[in-house]
Amino acid sequence: MPERSYAWPEGHWDWYQHLAFKHGVRAGEMIFVGGQVDKTPAGDPLRPYDLASQTEVVIRHIDTVLKEFGASLRHAVKLIAFYANDGSVDEAAFLARIGHHVLNHTGASIGGGLAITLVPLPCLALPGMMVEIEAIAMLGREGERLERITANPPELPPLPLPFSHGVRCGGHIWTSAQPSPSRQTRIQSPGDLIAQTDAAMTHTKQILEALGADLDDTVNLRTWYRGDGTRETWALAARQRAAYLTAPGPAVSALPTPNLPEGHMTRIDAWAMPGANGNRAARTYADLRDAWQWPLDLPQVAGLQCGDMVFVGQQVALDANGQPIAPGDLMEQTRQVMTSTRDVLAAFGLTLDDMVKQNSFYQGEADPETIVSNQRYRSSFYTEPAGASTGVPLPSFPLEALMVSVETVAMARHGHTA
């Protein structure tokens, strides 16, 4: 039974209103850190529009949260960095800066062993906020740093330390987003969404194979693509990804990201859970009647359980015919996605209070009122203390009239393991 503990470091930054979510949660060997930002304990942004200074502070905040569990950045296995980019940010330099600050906390001896995904956006939740980074770490039962294996296939551009294209730790594998920013190589097929989706899936497959797994071991697949909020663009990438997946596939999230660097059309990262000795790990899938559906038949699932882990793919406000519910109504669509998230978890005998990490993407700009309303409403579905959360605004979603997308990771407690 994974024991739960929660972290809220003394004097740490806060939101504008009290929420059930905590900065970090540990369950067994897994630690999840919600999106960290540069704010005061009263919720006000600090060092506005200064990406370099905010990045240093945010990395320090992640380390502070991890230390509440007896861990540190040395134990991190995956980072996702959301950052504001109007086209003026050198992504490769930004990636190197994150690595520099991580190494300052861990020491150069850590080498590789950390996967990362960069997600450039028009803005973050508040004016002047430039970066929000979330983390996953693994800590042994006795507080030891668990052994990890890294993969950096020679055909892929090198990443700056301490980052690797793939990391295997315990029964888990995380990949860095493909394609990855690099000073050494130019993006393949600039402007071609289908070709870049094909390349990203091929790279992900190569990384997984180097770590003794394959795409069928994937439990969670995230896609960021240069989209315009239309079904046509979403369908192009969705069909291409689907060609690499076997039904029933992983839980999937796919979101338009119009601020990818020039020529870049998509980024894809994966979380896989291979079995021992080359065997496929057992998994079960959510069997939901009358559930909402995408307007395409895709080899992805609403939710799956593998071991103690339960992954709920992105939930959006569609009906059983793939049509939007309550178009343009953020709060009602939020209610719909939280209700469908609860229903998926219930298929595994779990509740929303078994959540360890949730990401909410909502239509909006850098506006306190929007994020406060969305946070407060989502928080009301949970019993305090709740797991870690990240909330990020987007200008559009995969289909017209959608306003919000929520993805969730939960962990089964005693009596619910598959």
pLDDT at residue 110, rounded to an integer: 62
pLDDT band at 295 (very low <50, low <70, confident <90, very high): very high
281 token code pair: 């790990």
At 2 the pLDDT is: 66
Specify the range with the lowest mean pLDDT, choosing from 164-178, 185-199, 231-245, 396-410: 185-199
Mean pLDDT across 249-264: 95
Domain ranges in the chain are 4-411
Residue 363 or residue 289, greater confidence:
363
For position 141, what pLDDT does the model report? 87
Domain 4-411, CATH class in plain words? alpha beta
Is residue 1 pLDDT above 50, yes or no?
A: no
CA distances to 206, 216, 264 from 179, rounded to whole Å, are 12, 20, 8
Task: Give the per-residue pLDDT at 413.
Answer: 78
Single pTM value for the model = 0.96
Task: Provide the sign of the torsion angle of the four alpha carbons 210, 212, 217, 222, taken in this order.
Answer: negative
pLDDT, tens only, 147-198 = 999 999 999 999 999 999 999 999 999 999 998 776 556 778 889 999 999 9
> What pLDDT, on the 0 to 100 scale, is given for residue 106?
85
Phi/psi for 344 (5° steps) reads -65, -45
State the pLDDT at residue 415: 44
What would the two tokens of residue 94 be? 């930004």
